[in-house]
Structure formats: structure tokens, C-alpha cells
Structure 1
Amino acid sequence: MDRIEKREFVAELSAVFADTSMVVVTQNKGLTVEDVTKLRRKMREAGVSFKVAKNRLALLALEGTRFDGIAPLLKGPTALAWSADPVAAAKVAVDFAKTNDKFVLLGGALGNQVLDVEGVKALSELPSLDSLRAKILGLIQAPATKVAGVLQAPAGQLARVFSAYADSQKGEAA
């Protein structure tokens, strides 16, 4: 990388740190190309970005951001995972670490809060933002469905009374 590329990379990573809510720091010493490809595919499917970054450049990008607390974690071969959904990055990283012992979680940060490995694991157990939205939507729609059913019931009963009355009138006329 020449100087211009390094500056662009630091600027790009700084913009990421300004926009995202969650960053997970991992160590990927000894992963095969096939393993890294699988990991990147899983990350992409979950809406997570994953980048192997030179620690020196990542440290420059961290300066002055709310994630500067993860600077001590950037030692050795590290990679960063981030996403708009705070749970997605943690969930994919923890799931992949369970199946591959060469992929090690080092920690992360949720906003200003620096997380250790246990904190990242705890965060990964939470439901994702999409599933929370679906649950809230279900809770909102359930009462509306019940109200509609209650409002329709008297009308149905009234229709049955009129139908019975009409049938009784036909019976008397015959």
C-alpha cells in the first residue's frame, strides 16, 4: 500500500466507526482460505462487514471515535466485523468461533462500551433487530385483530336473528 491508499483506507475505516453501532475484534491466525471464504459469506448474509486491517492503520482510524477503547485489542493478526444491527456482528462471529477453533474472539465495543469476550457472547444471544421488530409488530397487530373480531361478532349475531325471523315468517305464511 502506498501513502495515498493508506490515507484512503484510514478515512474509510474512520467513516465506518462513525456510522456503525457495534464492532467485534477477532483474531484469525491459521484460518484457511476456505474458512475465511465461509466466514465472509456468513457475515455478508447477515449484513455484517468483515475486514482484515493492519493494526497501525486501524489504530489511526480509531482515534477520536467512540470505539477508541478497543485499541488494546489490536495486536497480532486481527480482523474487524461491524454492522448496523448491534447483534448481527456478535452473533455471526460467536457462531463461527464455535465451529472453528482458529477463529478467536478478542472483544468488541457497543458504542462507548468496551466488551470483553463474554460481553460479545452475551450480546450474540439477544434476538436480532429484525426479530424484535417482528415481535413488536405482532404485539401491535394482535389487539387490533381481537378488536375487529369483537366488533364483527354482534353484527353476525344480528344477521342470524334476522335470518331466523325471516325463516319463521316464511313458515307462518305457508
Structure 2
Amino acid sequence: MTEVEVLQLLVSPAHRLAGRPSDGPADGPSDERVDRVEVRRGLGLVGDRYFARPAHRNAAVTIMAAEKLPVDIAPSADLRHTRRNVLLRGVDIDGYVGATISLDCGTGPVVFAVNRPARPCAWMDVTIGPGAQRALRGAGGVRCTPLSDGVIRLGPATFRVVAGPGNAA
């Protein structure tokens, strides 16, 4: 087990980075960050744009390491810019593709299958700044399927590898 911190959570009802990056993000709330989120097995985050969408079941939740944010490009870079859902400090989540992990914020573990990397796109150069897409290659977080119901909230949490790569966490 590893002690981590959930720094930010983002639940967005709208897909804001659609179309051409040169057109800029679509309108929406200025801040979609929340203090807690309900996770539903096989469906995603309640209220999020990918919740219960069959095409996104294997990528319904995106987790990113805070240590990988390109703060040298934009010191204020966060989930509003990367459009990931969960920002963790204390674990290199990008190294767990293929694993099953759990995150326990004190209300019981929430289990995720870590399916694939979340590859950065050209939008990162628009929302964060020039060079962000390149800086986030191999460090853009991971796309996951929730395997259990539960709650994730801001603050300290326990990260554990349940099965697969990196079992020693």
C-alpha cells in the first residue's frame, strides 16, 4: 500500500475539447472540479460526460499523477486543462497499465482496471501552453474502468495494486 493524496477531481457534464484546437474549448462552467465523486461499477463517474456511455466503458475514468503536470509550461496547470478526472500525488500512475488498482479515501476501496495510457492531444498546447502535448507524452495519465461502486474524495488516500503489473505497491 502507498499513501497518496487526491488533489483534484473533475466531473464534466459536457465534452469541451471537441473540434479543432484552434477554435478553442467549448463553453461550459469555468470550474468543474468537485470535492467528491460517486463511482459506479462499469459506468464511470456520476454526472460525467462519459458516464454509462458504452463507447467509453473502458475509458470512463482518467487518473493522472500531479507530478507529471507540465508546471514549467504553465504553473497553474491542473485538471481543468488536462480534462482528466482524478489528480493524485504520490504515485506514478502511468506505470500501472494492465494492473487492477484500488483507491481508498476512507470510505472503502474503489477498484479500477487500468486499461491504457491517456495520450495527450493537440488540445494540451491550447489549454496548457505550447509544448504541453510533447511534455505529457507517456505522462498523460491512464484510462480506467471502475470495477466497484464507491466514493472518491479530496484528501489523503491509500493506493494499492490488487493484481497485475507493479504488485509491490
The verdict on a shared fold, with TM-score over 0.5 as the criterion, is no
Question: What's the TM-score, normalizing by structure 1?
Answer: 0.25
* Structure whose residues are more often strand by fraction: 2
Higher helix share: 1
